[in-house]
Amino acid sequence: MKNGCVSARKAACRAVFALGCFAFIQLVGVRSARAESPRKVAGFELLGMLGYGAVIRESTHHPFGVTVGVDFGYTWPVGLRIGTDVSYGFGRREEYTRWTGEVDSTHYSSLTFGVSVGYDVLLSSSLKLRAAGDAGGLALFNSDEGDLDGGWFYLGPRVALIWNYRAFEFGLQSKYLFTSPNCLQVGLIGGTRF
**What is the pTM for the complete model shown?**
0.71
User: In this predicted model, what pLDDT tens digit does every residue of 135-194 receive, in sequence order?
Assistant: 999 998 887 777 777 788 999 999 999 998 888 999 999 999 988 778 899 999 999 988
Among candidate residues 51, 39, 27, 24, the one with its CA nearest the CA of residue 188: 51
- Report how far residue 123's alpha carbon sits from residue 106's, in angstroms, rounded to the nearest whole number: 45
According to the 3-state scheme, what is the secondary structure of 105-162?
Answer: EEEEEEEEEEEEEEEEEECCCCEEEEEEEEEEEEEEEECCCCEEEEEEEEEEEEEEEE
